[in-house]
Structure 1
Amino acid sequence: METVKFKGVWMILIGIISLTSCSDDYLDENPKTFVSPDALLTDEEGAEIYLVGAYDAVQDIIVTDDADGWLNHWGTLAADEVVVPGWGGDRKLIFLHQLTPSNATVRRMWESMYISLNRINSVVDRVGAMTPDQIEDEPKQRILAEARYLRAMINFALVSTWENVPLIEHETTSLNNLEVPQATPEEVYAFIIEDLQAAKTTLPMEQGGGRATKGAAQALLGKVYLQMTGFPLNQDDKFALAEAELKEVIDSGVYGLVDSYPDLFDYTNEQNKEILFSIGKEGPGKNEGSYLGAFYGPNGNVNEGGGFGTVYANHEWEASYDRDDIRLLNNVAKHNANNWTPEEGMFNPESWGTNKVPWRAWKWHAEKPNNYVNDAPFDNPYIRFADVLLMYAEALNGQGELSQAVIDMTVNSLRERVRLEPTAVPDMALGSQSENAAEILAERRRELALEGWRRNDLIRFGVYEETINAINQEGFSTAGNPGPNYNEFEIRWPIPNSEIELNPSLEQNPGY
């Protein structure tokens, strides 16, 4: 019972931390048995193995294989890219904005994030305490920088989702004194920035193959600064700070756009020049797989490359694409996987039919047939170069400094690569600041769909409420529309009642 309560208060004792591999592109170690941290952290090799636990902690909650992945559930289900049917369980409640403080998914995500955070804090604290005779300074500082990047990812998810959260800066190893009060959003963001500033100073500027790098840290720092320009902080001075970080990434020459948009999501080409950081997965049958191929997938049997049936395409999102935009064919499935291959589903109009009700959100195209189900080999992109380009345009526009030249380098370069016909997907032209913002936001939706950033984008641009209220899709493929249920306080999630009962220092978010 003590262990259950302890996990419910958002932490986990170091003695039960398990270490598992996070990517086939990172470390080969995949330890499954317990090793005392004191016995492990005696040299650089042990510290590297301990760092794997931090990567695994991020994998566990950001894109976990069960129902609680943050990018999917916070970032996509509660926005306007997909709709959820009546049999969608908690996914339906997230989509409809009917969450309560007793919701099981909200509780599990809170618990999992703080458990993951404590595992990462353990790496920072314990590797940081290693002596020069145990590990040389250069690998020590690199390991700490990677862990601090991962910690920033978790804290960014926490403050984005609940806004008013406890800020846990060090490992918790005792069940005593767990009544930690909430920090202000400003305090949490300041800690995230501190971690990312330290990470970018230490890490190399390179495509890291699944490991954190300077480019990944600067891109995430730019994203964090931009989020601070919106609700609840509304700090316009952060546009310039974001611009500076993102420009360094662009000017580094390390990253670039992949020529073919569909190739980005081919599991044989995952660590490409467009990926600044992705969360590694490997499957099937290795206990390291992803469920992207089935969570987002066409109608039909999952063993034929179909989806689970709990996520359908928002028809208005589908209509936002030019008909000759390859992203439309890649991101929306109109075929039945039982009858057509992924290639036929993309390019053969005969496979599409005329009934748009069963259209599915799609992006990672499982082959036909397959035995993936929720154990596919697809990595989950976290930040890619296309995102950097769009954020850079946003940062300049926020300062009133966006130019046509920058639009051509950013938005229009993305449109250039997705045209199936020379006259398709018209270029963006410089307009007013508000017109530019609307066009950049729309392009983010088309380009980054299903990658988990849509809700943060809508909140940051100040249009979350109006967007949710505008969702209007009828038929069996939706449990209803969220607008009638939406209240402005639902821009954030409720703090679980079980946490407040265990930690009286917590206060419920307003409105719940």
Structure 2
Amino acid sequence: MKTTLFYIAMMLTLVVSSCSKILDTTPQDFVSPVNYYNTESELQSALAGVYDRLGDNRVYAQGMACYMVFSDEFFMKNQTSGINANIVDASTLEVNRHWEALYTGIERANMLLDNIDKAVKVAEDKRNEIKGQALFLRAYYYFLLTDEFGAVPLKLQSTKTPEEPPLPATPVKDIYERIVVDMKQAEGLVKSVSDYGYNTRITKTTVQGILARVYLTMAGFPLNDVAKYADARSYADKVIQSGLHGLNPDFKQIYINHVQEIFDTRENLWEVEFKGNNQGEIQEGGSIGSYNGITCGIIDIGYGYDYVHATAKLYNAYAASDQRRDWTVAPFRYVTTGQTAVKTNWAADQIYDRSNGKWRREYELLLPRNQNITGTNWPLLRYADVLLMFAEADNQVNGGPTTDAYKAINMVRRRGYGKDVQIPDAQADVATGLSQQDFLDLIRSERLRELAFEGLRKHDLVRWGIYPTVMQAQAREYQVNMPSTLKDPAIAQAQRVTDRAVLFPIPNSELAVNPNIKQNTGW
């Protein structure tokens, strides 16, 4: 890693793409750090470089929307080779590039943090705002790395020379403690979402909501520090009490807004911004809606690769009157004949044939469409998630759900049924008097229904300590109930989730340059 990071340090310097709401600036190449970081424009450009890795193809542009987050909500149709088939080892390109993308983000953050105090002519409040975002993003990249790889090198300063010795892995507990320290410091430095009017920058409630996620993770596997449930409840409640966020009354509109690049800062606390279709000078598009979208073979309608398919477990988790079901799991596909495609409904028993329906390319506004690239934004934190985290943590803290926990989950469910979230509803509201375990089981199911295809299900299953068990059960379910034309690849994908698959292997690109790090167990 040291050689790679030294190269990054010298070249960063700065090779970034501007994002319309993060930064509007001209990318600059080959600028020495000695002569940089002096003006607000230079600090903002450096900050854009830190944000930039969120949109990498092996991070949220594609990988973390599907093939890096295998779970019980989807399978990859008829995929029998490579990472699309959940075949992974230390040499897998996507895993190596994922690791490198996250550490590139960390190195860029470290360079900015190392040099930000040089900008003495920049107002202190502006420097603090930029510093807070850089601190948070560095911590978030470490959160992803630790969640996915376990103990990794914790590097908190930029690389100055290739002779620096490579770092050993830092214990997971120590990395999480540093994540919390940096995020708490960021909480006091960043601005409110109301200061921006868009949600692709880090804001105070974003920090608070992600801290709730971090604390819930610390409370579960592998640390199992149950005292952290109280912290998770506290930070989720900070978001709730801010009054800045609420549920969009129309579930499907959340995703139409993503497709149309419309910022709904009440529902969506934080998004990765993609822009355009990569057919102009600025290349900022992603693959949301194409790689993981509804089956379609016509570009003009909105090309969708026939990869990501819903499981019967996901589809059957919804009641028939739950409006989230037929938006999340598309009830139709486009049947292509020559240069035409006809929207055609699936038969009632064709559950496993159905695609992820959340991000529908028919709503794209920018034409002409590109086969692979879309400007659809990716949600990193929604208010519904905050409410469900609050309910989960409240249940654990109090030995069972309180009135507040019921209120939080019922708001999410009422919206799902198309009801007013503030008015009790016999159809949507859950039964009262549940035990602590029964309420936890309900939360697990509700997170599946609400957050399907948003890259969080694997993370949830891992922190609950049930990932291999659930996926082996999926393999058995596929064997019994999946159509014969689909089952063999899907069974193999699920069966590959054994105990070792809770963590990815440490990539060969790291092992080759770092003799002080060991491979994860089983790899």
When normalised by structure 2's length, the TM-score is 0.87
SS in 1 for 2:332: coil
CA deviation profile, 1:344-371 (whole Å, cap 9, x unmatched): 96xxxx7233433421122111117961
Separation of aligned partners in 1, 2:144 and 2:90: 18
Q: How does 1:35-184 map to 2 (within 5 A)?
A: 35-60=31-56, 63-65=59-61, 69-70=63-64, 72-74=66-68, 76=69, 78-87=70-79, 89-94=81-86, 98-127=87-116, 129-132=117-120, 134-184=121-171
CA deviation profile, 1:251-279 (whole Å, cap 9, x unmatched): 01011111111111123433331111111
Which amino acid counterpart does residue 373 of structure 1 have in structure 2?
Q
Q: How does 1:399-438 map to 2 (within 5 A)?
A: 399-419=397-417, 424-438=427-441
- Structure-2 residue corresponding to 1:314: 311
Offset of 1:430 from its aligned partner? 4.0
Which of 443, 447, 452 is matched with 1:449 structurally? 452
Q: 2:267 aligned with 1:274, yes or no?
A: yes
Q: How does 1:275-314 map to 2 (within 5 A)?
A: 275-284=268-277, 285=279, 286-301=282-297, 303=299, 304-314=301-311
Which amino acid counterpart does residue 328 of structure 1 have in structure 2?
R
Which of 182, 201, 204 is matched with 1:195 structurally? 182
Q: 2:20 aligned with 1:27, yes or no?
A: no
Separation of aligned partners in 1, 2:370 and 2:80: 21
Query: In the superposition, relative to structure 1, how do residues 61 and 195 fare at CA in structure 2: closer, same or farther (>3 Å)?
Result: farther
Query: In the superposition, relative to structure 1, how do residues 406 and 495 fare at CA in structure 2: closer, same or farther (>3 Å)?
Result: same
Separation of aligned partners in 1, 2:431 and 2:376: 32
Q: Is the 8 A contact 2:6 2:161 kept in 1?
A: no
Q: Is the 8 A contact 2:232 2:390 kept in 1?
A: yes
Separation of aligned partners in 1, 2:404 and 2:79: 45
Gaps of 5+ in 1: none
Q: Return 281-290 or 82-91, whichever deviates more.
A: 82-91
Which amino acid counterpart does residue 455 of structure 1 have in structure 2?
K
Offset of 1:434 from its aligned partner? 0.9
SS in 2 for 1:410: helix
Q: Is the 8 A contact 2:79 2:85 kept in 1?
A: no
SS in 1 for 2:226: coil
Offset of 1:234 from its aligned partner? 0.3
Offset of 1:310 from its aligned partner? 2.1
Offset of 1:225 from its aligned partner? 0.6
Q: 2:520 aligned with 1:509, yes or no?
A: yes
Q: Is the 8 A contact 2:271 2:380 kept in 1?
A: yes
Offset of 1:111 from its aligned partner? 1.8
Separation of aligned partners in 1, 2:228 and 2:402: 22
Q: Is the 8 A contact 1:10 1:112 kept in 2?
A: no
Q: Is the 8 A contact 1:322 1:424 kept in 2?
A: no
SS in 2 for 1:336: strand
Offset of 1:325 from its aligned partner? 1.6
Which amino acid counterpart does residue 316 of structure 1 have in structure 2?
K
Offset of 1:443 from its aligned partner? 0.6
- Structure-2 residue corresponding to 1:392: 390
Which amino acid counterpart does residue 175 of structure 2 have in structure 1?
V
SS in 1 for 2:240: helix
Which of 181, 194, 213 is matched with 1:223 structurally? 213
Which amino acid counterpart does residue 382 of structure 1 have in structure 2?
L
Offset of 1:64 from its aligned partner? 4.6
Query: In the superposition, relative to structure 1, how do residues 33 and 476 fare at CA in structure 2: closer, same or farther (>3 Å)?
Result: farther
Separation of aligned partners in 2, 1:192 and 1:445: 27
Query: In the superposition, relative to structure 1, how do residues 249 and 352 fare at CA in structure 2: closer, same or farther (>3 Å)?
Result: same
Q: Return 284-293 or 35-44, whichever deviates more.
A: 35-44
Report the aligned-residue RMSD: 2.6
Q: Is the 8 A contact 2:293 2:305 kept in 1?
A: yes
SS in 1 for 2:164: coil
Q: Is the 8 A contact 1:289 1:376 kept in 2?
A: yes
Which amino acid counterpart does residue 362 of structure 2 have in structure 1?
E
Q: 2:485 aligned with 1:476, yes or no?
A: yes
Gaps of 5+ in 2: 420-424
Separation of aligned partners in 2, 1:122 and 1:506: 24
Query: In the superposition, relative to structure 1, how do residues 17 and 432 fare at CA in structure 2: closer, same or farther (>3 Å)?
Result: farther
Separation of aligned partners in 2, 1:64 and 1:277: 13
Query: In the superposition, relative to structure 1, how do residues 131 and 293 fare at CA in structure 2: closer, same or farther (>3 Å)?
Result: closer
Offset of 1:189 from its aligned partner? 0.5
Q: 2:253 aligned with 1:263, yes or no?
A: yes
Which amino acid counterpart does residue 132 of structure 2 have in structure 1?
A
Offset of 1:407 from its aligned partner? 3.4
Offset of 1:500 from its aligned partner? 1.5
SS in 2 for 1:141: helix
- Structure-1 residue corresponding to 2:503: 492
Separation of aligned partners in 1, 2:378 and 2:495: 33
CA deviation profile, 1:270-324 (whole Å, cap 9, x unmatched): 3331111111111123411121111221122151224212221112211111122
Separation of aligned partners in 1, 2:97 and 2:379: 23
Which amino acid counterpart does residue 270 of structure 1 have in structure 2?
F
Which amino acid counterpart does residue 360 of structure 1 have in structure 2?
S
Overall identity of the aligned pairs, in %: 27
Q: Is the 8 A contact 2:6 2:162 kept in 1?
A: no
Which amino acid counterpart does residue 124 of structure 1 have in structure 2?
L
Q: Is the 8 A contact 2:505 2:519 kept in 1?
A: yes
CA deviation profile, 1:219-250 (whole Å, cap 9, x unmatched): 11111011001111000010111111111110
CA deviation profile, 1:207-226 (whole Å, cap 9, x unmatched): 54211111011111111011
Which of 373, 376, 380 is matched with 1:375 structurally? 373
CA deviation profile, 1:160-202 (whole Å, cap 9, x unmatched): 0010111111111321124210000011101111110011011
Offset of 1:392 from its aligned partner? 0.5
| Count of paired positions | 492
Which amino acid counterpart does residue 195 of structure 1 have in structure 2?
D
Which amino acid counterpart does residue 325 of structure 2 have in structure 1?
L
Which amino acid counterpart does residue 522 of structure 2 have in structure 1?
G
Q: Is the 8 A contact 2:400 2:435 kept in 1?
A: no
Query: In the superposition, relative to structure 1, how do residues 480 and 48 fare at CA in structure 2: closer, same or farther (>3 Å)?
Result: closer
Q: 2:326 aligned with 1:329, yes or no?
A: yes
Query: In the superposition, relative to structure 1, how do residues 368 and 231 fare at CA in structure 2: closer, same or farther (>3 Å)?
Result: closer
Q: Is the 8 A contact 1:125 1:171 kept in 2?
A: yes
Q: Is the 8 A contact 1:325 1:424 kept in 2?
A: no
Separation of aligned partners in 2, 1:5 and 1:119: 14
SS in 2 for 1:272: coil
Query: In the superposition, relative to structure 1, how do residues 213 and 16 fare at CA in structure 2: closer, same or farther (>3 Å)?
Result: closer
Separation of aligned partners in 2, 1:172 and 1:199: 23
Query: In the superposition, relative to structure 1, how do residues 459 and 302 fare at CA in structure 2: closer, same or farther (>3 Å)?
Result: farther
Which of 337, 353, 358 is matched with 1:358 structurally? 353
Offset of 1:103 from its aligned partner? 2.0
Separation of aligned partners in 1, 2:221 and 2:401: 26
Separation of aligned partners in 1, 2:359 and 2:192: 28
Separation of aligned partners in 2, 1:171 and 1:61: 24
Which amino acid counterpart does residue 353 of structure 1 have in structure 2?
A
